[in-house]
Amino acid sequence: MEERLLKGKNAIVTGCTRGIGRSIVEIFAQNGANIWACARKKTEEFEETLQLLSDKFNIEIKPVYFDLTDKEKMKIAVRTIMSDKKDIDILVNNAGITYNALFQMSTIDKLNEVFDVNFISPFLFTQYIVKIMLRKRSGSIINIASSAAIDGNPGRSVYGASKAALLCATKSLAAELGDQGIRANVIAPGITKTEMLSSMTEEVINQTVINTDMKRSGEPIDIANAVLFLASDLSSYVTGQVIRVDGGM
Amino acid sequence: MLLTGKNAVITGCLKGIGRSTLETIAINGSNVWACALAPDEEFEIFCQDLANENNVWIKPVYFDLSDHEQIKTALKQIASDKQPINILVNIAGMTKDALFHMIPMDQMKLIFEVNFFAQMYITQFITKLMVRQKVGSVVNISSISALDGSYGQLSYSASKAAIIGATKTLSIELADKGVRVNALAPGVIDTDMVKAVPEDIIMKRINQISLKRLGHVDEVSKAVLFLASDLSDYISGQVIRIDGGI
């Protein structure tokens, strides 16, 4: 028998086009959730994949398109989601961008851009969605940060700091909303096989993999399965936590 | 059914978190060697019913954690079944609360014997088999008191902190051999241990918890299930707080 840990739940996932986000959509669909799959741009391949998943698992998936940096578009997207008049049980803030540069070489423009996408946008988006979750007085928010937010790796001052900001906001959010039935947690992936890795040199990647207890990098599905735990009732007494999915570092 | 076809060793199954973990793991399709302190008729019936309902086998195994000879005999009994062991959950533990200056050294040693050395002895034995199979998941039950400290619980919190150090080191040593090692740190869980605490103290504690309520034993066992299952395939060396936010 197939396990369906999210049967009948409705979830919003951002950054669904590829990598970890795509995997989260697949795992959520497989576990019976209806999904608003957010992405920046409409592509045929994306729409086809969503259609295949919804047919296969007998659930509903709606693509929602907006650029996280465009706050007007975000507002419209929230209205679109609200117009479906459904409860929202799960929010996964997964979309993000990476940036590698030594501290002294990091530019103010990049600093602003990375913080806008990785911190300010999920912050605002969560503000909108929490308002809807509060009506039902239940919900689970999962923010995807990074082990770089905790460890302080070379070249990661901007990216790591943006994810650390998200991490800290999540803890405050958990403390503020816990008594209203809303949980908020963070997943901190380590080195994961996505396109983001292409911003790192092979040497750095190999060194990082050697430093993991498991001596391997993670797959997007490893992260998605941990998100599934936090989204489901399996984690009903877990809030304000940061779970590293990093093979041991 | 997240654990179909797996075999698990669980200690401290008689009541509380252990009993709930036994239930959750069996319901998810795993066979279990259910370890408890001493034979108990109610427990045997419980195991039998649970096994029948879920189409798995559950073998009660009895030993006193403070007696290495008993542990050794029990472990040999488990090994003699010649089954792979996929999961080890170290739950059994004890506490004796006392202010630091009032703790008799013998008592502290006993708590470490039961909460730490016995667990290590069992883990040494079981992970040797797991390494041979090249697969396994060890879940140790620590406590938030190991991370935060807890008034009157020096021996207990220190023994649970030792578990965390062992968890992290074991992960470094075993993860590349396919054996993942993690710990859970439960907060204030509604068990017999908590029922003994005066109500005004409990109310104060609850007020510090983001979810504003005590945890249930099954909320800990569901987290054990996550760490025991393949859902946590890339998680090792971690300590996860199950505390409602403190």
Q: Give the tens place of pLDDT for each residue, B139-185.
A: 999 999 999 999 999 999 999 999 999 999 999 999 999 999 999 99
Average pLDDT over residues B80-100: 95
Q: Residue B151 corresponds to which tokens in the numbers above?
A: 């008034």
Lowest mean pLDDT among A4-18, A190-204, B51-65: A190-204
Interface test with B, best of A3, A213, A236 (most B CBs within 10 A): A213
Q: Give the pLDDT confidence score for residue B43 in this predicted structure.
A: 97
Position B128 in a domain: yes
Q: How far apart are the first and last CA of chain A?
A: 35
Q: Give the tens place of pLDDT for each residue, B12-49.
A: 999 999 999 999 999 999 999 999 999 999 999 999 99
At CB < 8 A and 24+ separation, what contacts does A124-127 make?
Answer: A124/A71, A124/A74, A125/A14, A125/A68, A125/A74, A125/A78, A125/A91, A125/A93, A126/A91, A126/A93, A126/A173
Are B243 and A213 inside 8 Å of each other by CB? no
pTM here is: 0.96
- Which residues constitute the domain of residue B144? 7-242
List the single residue in B223, B230, B236 with the smallest CB-CB distance to A234: B223
pLDDT band of B197, cuts 50, 70, 90: confident
List the single residue in B223, B234, B237 with the smallest CB-CB distance to A218: B234
Residue of B nearest to A242 (CA): B240
| Interface pTM, i.e. ipTM | 0.94
| Nearest chain B CA: its distance from A7 CA (Å) | 14
Average pLDDT over residues A151-157: 93
Q: Give the pLDDT confidence score for residue A1 in this predicted structure.
A: 42
Position B2 in a domain: no
CATH number for B219: 3.40.50.720
| Nearest chain A CA: its distance from B12 CA (Å) | 21
Q: Give the pLDDT confidence score for residue A197 in this predicted structure.
A: 86
Percent of chain A with pLDDT over 70: 99
Alpha-carbon separation of residue A230 from A92, B23, B58, B223, B233 (angstroms): 10, 21, 29, 10, 15
Taking 3-state DSSP, the helix, strand and coil percentages for chain A, each rounded to the nearest 5, stand at 50, 15, 35
DSSP E strand boundaries for chain B: 7-10, 31-36, 58-62, 87-90, 136-141, 179-186, 239-242
pLDDT tops 50 at residue B224: yes
Evaluate whether the domain defined by A10-242 bears CATH number 3.40.190.10. no
Residues of chain B contacting A229 with CB distance shorter than 8 Å: 226, 231-232
Position B1 in a domain: no
- CB-based contact (8 Å) between B202 and chain A? no
pLDDT tops 80 at residue A3: no
Q: Give the pLDDT confidence score for residue B133 in this predicted structure.
A: 95
Average pLDDT over residues B67-92: 97
Rounded Cα–Cα distance for residues B184 and B5 (Å): 24
pLDDT tops 60 at residue A84: yes
Q: Give the tens place of pLDDT for each residue, A221-247.
A: 999 999 999 999 999 999 999 999 999
Q: How many domains does chain B have?
A: 1
Alpha-carbon separation of residue B118 from A113, B112, B137, B228 (angstroms): 53, 8, 18, 21
Residue of B nearest to A186 (CA): B240
List the single residue in A174, A238, A246 with the smallest CB-CB distance to B223: A238
Q: How far apart are the first and last CA of chain B?
A: 31
The alpha-helical segments, DSSP class H, found in B55-137 are 68-80, 105-112, 118-133
pLDDT tops 60 at residue A2: no
- CB-based contact (8 Å) between B240 and chain A? yes
Counting one residue from A and one from B, how many pairs have CB atoms under 8 Å apart?
110
Are B232 and A174 inside 8 Å of each other by CB? no
